[in-house]
């Protein structure tokens, strides 16, 4: 590691990679990539999300989202439905199998967050979450 502090953007990217590597065994067991998990996680929290909003929330380009959702539909994790508010649009939702997978993965995330909270201490962990929330806006 360099003696000088890394840039904030690099620290955030490295932190993301570290967290992803700690979740990777659970993702592998579920047969999901990290990008697919982001999509599934958004749909767990917000079923019926429109594709445009899903791409933004999951932090994936729209073209990539289409490919990811196609695969998740193929695997029986996600279903596409017509938006009840605008029949010209499509929304995504978790299938029953997808909801089960999502709950298992969310539990793994929560275990990791508990470990991080214990390592940092509750005050530092809460401050980190607050600061990241401020950055995201």
The structure's pTM equals 0.86
Closest CA to 102 of 27, 44, 32: 44
1 inside domain: no
Residue range of the domain that includes 115: 9-136
User: How many domains are contained in the chain?
Assistant: 1
- The tens digit of pLDDT for each residue in 65-117 reads 999 999 999 999 999 999 888 888 989 999 999 999 999 999 999 999 999 99
99 inside domain: yes
Q: What dihedral do alpha carbons 9, 49, 43, 32 form, nearest 10°? A: -70
The Cα 121–Cα 100 span in angstroms is: 31
CATH of the domain at 92: 1.10.10.10
75 inside domain: yes
């Amino acid at each position: 590691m360099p003696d000088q502090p890394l840039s904030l953007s690099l620290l955030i990217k490295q932190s993301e990679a570290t967290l992803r590597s700690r979740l990777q065994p659970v993702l592998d067991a579920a047969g999901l990539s990290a990008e697919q998990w982001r999509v599934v996680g958004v749909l767990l929290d917000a079923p019926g999300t429109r594709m445009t909003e899903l791409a933004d929330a999951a932090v994936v380009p729209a073209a990539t989202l289409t490919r990811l959702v196609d695969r998740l539909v193929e695997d029986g994790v996600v279903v596409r439905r017509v938006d009840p508010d605008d029949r010209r649009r499509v929304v995504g939702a978790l299938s029953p199998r997808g909801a089960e997978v999502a709950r298992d993965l969310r539990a793994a995330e929560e275990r990791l967050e508990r470990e991080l909270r214990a390592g940092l201490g509750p005050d530092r962990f809460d401050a980190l979450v607050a600061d990241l929330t401020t950055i995201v806006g």
